[in-house]
Amino acid sequence: MRQLFNILYFAQTEDDVDQVVKTHPNVFKPENWYPLGGHENNFGVIENQQSTPIAALIEKITNSIDAVLMKKCLEADINPKSNQAPQSMDEARTNFFPNYRDWDQPGFRNQQAESIQILADGPRRNTSLIIYDDGEGQHPEEFENTFLSLLRGNKNEIHFVQGKYNMGGSGAIVFCGKKRYQLIGSKRYDDTGEFGFTLIREHPLSKAEERTKKNTWYEYLKIDGKIPAFQADRQDLSLYNRSFTTGTIVKLYSYDLPSGISDISRDLNQSINEYLFEPVLPVYTIEKKERYPKSSLRRGLYGLKRRLEQEDNKYVEESFSYDFDDALFGNMKVTCYVFRTKIEDSSVKETKETIQREFFKNRMSVLFSVNGQVHGHYTSEFITRSLKLNLLKEHLLIHVDCTDMKPSFRKELFMASRDRLKDGEETRTLRKFLADKLGAKDSPLSEIQKRRKDSIAVESEDAKDLLKSFARNFSRNEELLKLLDQTLNLDMPPKGKQKGNTNGSSKKKQRKKEGKPFNPKRFPALFKRRVSGKLDKEVVVIPLGGEKTIFFDTDVENNYFHRVEDPGELNIAILDFKTNETEGGDAPGKVDQIEDVFSVSKSSPQNGTIKIHLNPKEEVSVGDEVKIKVSLEDPTEKFEEIFWVKISEPKAPAQPSPQPENREIPTLGLPELIFAYREERPERNGKITWEQVEAATGENMDYATVMYPMVNGEKLESVYINMDSNVLKNFKAKTRNPSQEQLNIADQRYIASVYSHTLFLYSITKAHKY
C-alpha cells in the first residue's frame, strides 16, 4: 500500500494519475469505487458549491486551520463540544497559542506557518497543489465519517472552528482538472493507528450509463472494502523543513487556477490573502525551485489585514473604522482603507495597476467576513452607485466584520458555500445601512472625495464665459434642453426672467481654514468629552426618535482601534438607568447593556476626534435618563468619561421652505468646464495640470487623453478638457503660420466640440444604463 500511495502522491498531473489507474486495473477496478457521501446523487451537492477555484481552495485551508485547533483542544483533554471548550476561534487561539502575539515577528510567524503548508507541484501551466496540516488527522476507519461524508454537520456543535456543513472541502474537487482527481492521506495526531489514504474522482460513465443516467457522481477508492492503509512513522513527502508524521495531506491534481496566477508563493499568496482577511493561524505558500528557479520560494500568509496595516505600507493613505451596534443585526465592525493615487518613483498608471494587482486581484472592493474568512463581497459598483464616491472606486477597500452579528441575521446573508451573498431582504437592508453610514455627507470618505475633488477645482473666467455661451445656445432649443435635462438634471431658467449666473457650479467654494497640524501618539494621553460652554456638562439631551453625535478629544493615532499590533478599545457601559415613571415605557426592569436602550455606532479616531452616535430605541420614553461610562483602553491604561443622557421630546418635523410664486423651472446649471495642461506656465495661472488631475482621480492623463468626466454618483459635475492633447495639436497643425486669433478660434471649436460631445455621450450612456 505504501508503494501505491507514493506512486499516486508523486504523480504531478491528472494525466499521470490517469496512467497509474490504467496500469493497475486490479486495484482500480469498478467494484472498488464507492459514491462520496454514500449516495450516487452527490453531483449537485458538490458542483453547487464555490463558484471560483480560489474560494473553493480557501475551504481546504479553513479545514486545515480547524484541524490544528481541534488537535490543540484534544491534546488539552477538552471535549470540543463541551462548555469548557473555547467558544470562538479567537478564544481558541488565545488559549492554545498563548504566545501568538509573537507571530507579529516574521521568525516566530514562519515557524508557526510550517504547520499548514500549500505547495506547488507539476509543470507551470498544469499546476497541482498540495495542502498539508499537522492537525488532528483521522484513522482510516473514520475517513467515511469525516473526509468522505457530506451534509453530516460534524462540526455544528463546535464553536471554535469555521466548518459547519461538512461539505465545504469537497467544493475544490470540481476544479481538479477534467477528471477531478484528488488524493487524501491522513494519520491521527496521537500517532495511533495506520496512515490511511484514498483517491477521489468523477465517475467515468460507461456507454450504457450515458444512456440511462442524467448525471455522473463522485466516488472514492477502497480496496477489499477498506480504506487503503499502512504503518508509517515518518514519510518524506517533500514538505518544507519537516517530514510527515501525523496530520492530513491533500493533493489537488491539475488545479484550474485563474489566469494570472502562476508563481504559487507570490500570485496565489496574494489571492488567498484577500479571502483570508484575518486568519486565526498563519500559513506557508511554497513554490518549487524546478518551476521558478529565480523566484522567492516561500512566503508566509497571514491575511490581507496585516498587509494593509503594516507600518511600511506605502500604498494606504489613511484608514479608519466604525463599530455599529444595532437592534436588527447586532454588532458589526467596518474598516475602510483609502489608497494613494500615486507613490514615489511610479506614475499614476503604474500605481493604480500595482494596487489592483496587490490588493484587488479578485475584484473585491467590499469584503464581508466571519472569523477572518471572506464569505461574500461587493465590487466597486457599490462605491460608485451606493456611496456615490466615483473618485475612490479603484482606491477604496472596505472590510465588514460580521463575526459578532446576531446568528439569526447573519445566516440570512451568506450562501452555505461561504463565497457569496444571498439576494435577500437582510442583504438589501445591510447594503442600505452601509450606504447611508459610509456615504453620509459628513463621513470621512465623503470628506476625502471632496478634498480630492477640490484639489482640481479652479475658477477660470474663460471657462465661465464659454459655459455661459453654451447655456444661451442650449436654452434657445427647448427640445435639446429637455433631452439633456432628462439625464443631467439641469437647472433650467424660468421663462421670461433674467437668467443671471447660469453656471450653478461656478459659485465660489468656501474652504475650511487649516488648523494646527495634528501630531498623533501611538498610545493616548488624552481622552475628554467635548462640551459646549452653554450646555450642562453633565447631561447630553437626545430627542426621542432622533440621533446625537458625541465628540471626544484625544491625541492617539487614527488607526488605533484596528491596527494589528497593540490595538485599543472603546467601550460603553451603563452605570444607571432612571425611567420616567409618570410616562411609563417599555424598557425592561433591569438595563445593563447599552444596546438595550440605544443603537450605537463608534468611529475610530480622526485627527484627534472620536465620535459616538446614539439613537434611542423604541423601548425608552421621554424623560428617561441613562448614566453612561465611555472608556478608552490600551494594554496598560484606561481613560474614562462619565455623563448622563436624557431623552427629550421628539423634534418637530422641519417645515418646507416657501417656494417663489410662478416659478416654473429652476436656473440652468451645466457641468463645470475646466482646462487641464501638461505643465504649469506663467500665462496659465489658475489652470490645472495633468499631474493634478492624476493625483486627484487616479486616472492617467497624457497626450492621448481628450477629456476626463468628473462623475459623482450618477451626476456629471464637471468636464476636464485636455488643452495639450494630440487631437488639438494636430488640428492646429493643419493651418500654416496661424495667427493668434486663428489659434484662439481653434481652441474654442475644440472645447465646444469636446464639451457638447461629452454631454450627449454621457446622456446616451446613462439613458441606456451602460
pLDDT in tens, 550-584: 999 999 999 999 888 888 899 999 999 888 765 55
Rounded distance, CA 632 to CA 557, Å?
A: 13
- In 3D space, the residue among 482, 471, 472, 497 whose CA is nearest the CA of residue 662 turns out to be 497
Q: What is the mean pLDDT of residues 309-315?
A: 80
Is the full-model pTM beyond 0.85? no
Task: Return the pLDDT at 163.
Answer: 74
Task: Return the pLDDT at 582.
Answer: 56
Q: What is the mean pLDDT of residues 671-696?
A: 81
Indicate if the pLDDT at residue 654 is higher than 50: yes
Task: Return the pLDDT at 470.
Answer: 64
Indicate if the pLDDT at residue 369 is higher than 60: yes
Mean pLDDT for the chain overall: 85
Q: What is the mean pLDDT of residues 60-89?
A: 95
- 2-300 fold: Heat Shock Protein 90 (3.30.565)
Rounded distance, CA 287 to CA 268, Å?
A: 10
Supply the CATH classification number for the domain 305-450. 3.30.230
- In this prediction, what percent of the chain has a pLDDT beyond 70? 85
Rounded distance, CA 565 to CA 104, Å?
A: 8
What's CA 333's distance to the chain center, in Å? 12
Cβ-Cβ contacts under 8 Å for 114 (sequence gap 6 or more):
240, 241, 242, 284
Task: Return the pLDDT at 23.
Answer: 95
Q: What is the mean pLDDT of residues 355-382?
A: 93
Task: Return the pLDDT at 428.
Answer: 94
Superfamily of domain 527-648 in the CATH hierarchy:
Immunoglobulins (2.60.40.10)
Task: Return the pLDDT at 620.
Answer: 86
Task: Return the pLDDT at 747.
Answer: 86
> How far is the CA of 547 from the CAs of 540, 598, 599, in angstroms?
11, 10, 9
Indicate if the pLDDT at residue 176 is higher than 90: yes
Confidence bin at 517 (pLDDT 50/70/90): confident
Task: Tell me the backbone φ, ψ of residue 471, rounded to 5 degrees.
Answer: -60, -45
Cβ-Cβ contacts under 8 Å for 53 (sequence gap 6 or more):
172, 175, 255, 256, 257, 258
Q: What is the mean pLDDT of residues 238-252?
A: 96
Question: Do 2-300 and 527-648 fold alike per CATH?
Answer: no
pLDDT, tens only, 394-432: 999 999 999 999 999 999 999 877 888 998 999 999 999
CA angle at residue 265 from 262 to 269, to 5 degrees? 90
Indicate if the pLDDT at residue 614 is higher than 50: yes
Indicate if the pLDDT at residue 768 is higher than 80: no
- In 3D space, the residue among 324, 139, 337 whose CA is nearest the CA of residue 247 turns out to be 139
- DSSP annotation of 310: S
> Sheet of 539-543: strands edge to edge?
539-543, 638-648, 625-633, 569-578
Q: 22-50 in b/e burial notation, b at 16+ Cβ within 10 A?
A: eeeeeebeeebbbbbbeebebbebbeebb
pLDDT, tens only, 290-306: 888 877 788 999 999 99
Confidence bin at 475 (pLDDT 50/70/90): low
Task: Return the pLDDT at 86.
Answer: 95
Contact 36, 46 (CB under 8 A): yes
Q: 437-464 in b/e burial notation, b at 16+ Cβ within 10 A?
A: bbbeeebbbbebbbebbeebbbebeebb
Using CA atoms of 139, 143, 147, 148 in order, give the dihedral in degrees to the nearest 10.
180
pLDDT, tens only, 356-368: 999 999 999 999 9
User: To which H or E segment does residue 571 belong?
Assistant: strand 569-578
Task: Return the pLDDT at 685.
Answer: 60
Contact 2, 10 (CB under 8 A): no
Rounded distance, CA 171 to CA 36, Å?
A: 13
Q: Which three cell numbers stand for residue 451?
A: 478634498
> How far is the CA of 470 from the CAs of 502, 668, 752, in angstroms?
10, 11, 8
Task: Return the pLDDT at 469.
Answer: 67
Q: What is the mean pLDDT of residues 163-178?
A: 78
Rounded distance, CA 23 to CA 430, Å?
A: 56
Indicate if the pLDDT at residue 682 is higher than 50: yes
Indicate if the pLDDT at residue 670 is higher than 60: yes
Strand ranges for 134-273 from DSSP E: 182-187, 195-202, 218-221, 229-230, 247-252
Confidence bin at 507 (pLDDT 50/70/90): very low
Q: What is the mean pLDDT of residues 483-505?
A: 49
- In 3D space, the residue among 263, 122, 719, 245 whose CA is nearest the CA of residue 460 turns out to be 719
Which residues make beta-bridge pairs with 715? 712
Cβ-Cβ contacts under 8 Å for 666 (sequence gap 6 or more):
491, 492, 493, 494
Residue 711 CA neighbour count, 13 Å, CB half: 22
Indicate if the pLDDT at residue 491 is higher than 90: no
Report helix, strand or coil for 238: coil
Contact 133, 187 (CB under 8 A): no
Q: Number of H helices and number of E strands within the chain?
A: 19, 27
Confidence bin at 511 (pLDDT 50/70/90): very low
Task: Return the pLDDT at 499.
Answer: 45
Task: Return the pLDDT at 106.
Answer: 84
Domain extent listing, the chain: 2-300, 305-450, 461-504+669-767, 527-648
Task: Return the pLDDT at 609.
Answer: 93
Task: Give the β-pairing of 116-121 and 283-286.
Answer: parallel
Least trusted range by pLDDT, from 342-351, 626-635, 708-717:
708-717
Indicate if the pLDDT at residue 151 is higher than 60: yes
Indicate if the pLDDT at residue 539 is higher than 90: no
Rounded distance, CA 746 to CA 728, Å?
A: 8
Task: Return the pLDDT at 212.
Answer: 87
Rounded distance, CA 407 to CA 329, Å?
A: 9
Place of cell 457641468: 671
Report helix, strand or coil for 752: helix
Place of cell 498540495: 130
Task: Return the pLDDT at 501.
Answer: 45
User: To which H or E segment does residue 73 belong?
Assistant: helix 53-75
- In 3D space, the residue among 507, 514, 499, 396 whose CA is nearest the CA of residue 446 turns out to be 396
What's CA 658's distance to the chain center, in Å? 45
Place of cell 520560494: 297
Indicate if the pLDDT at residue 769 is higher than 70: no
Q: What is the mean pLDDT of residues 108-136?
A: 95
Report helix, strand or coil for 602: strand
Indicate if the pLDDT at residue 587 is higher than 70: no
Q: What is the mean pLDDT of residues 618-647?
A: 89
The stretches of 634-769 forming alpha helices (DSSP H) are: 690-697, 726-733, 740-767
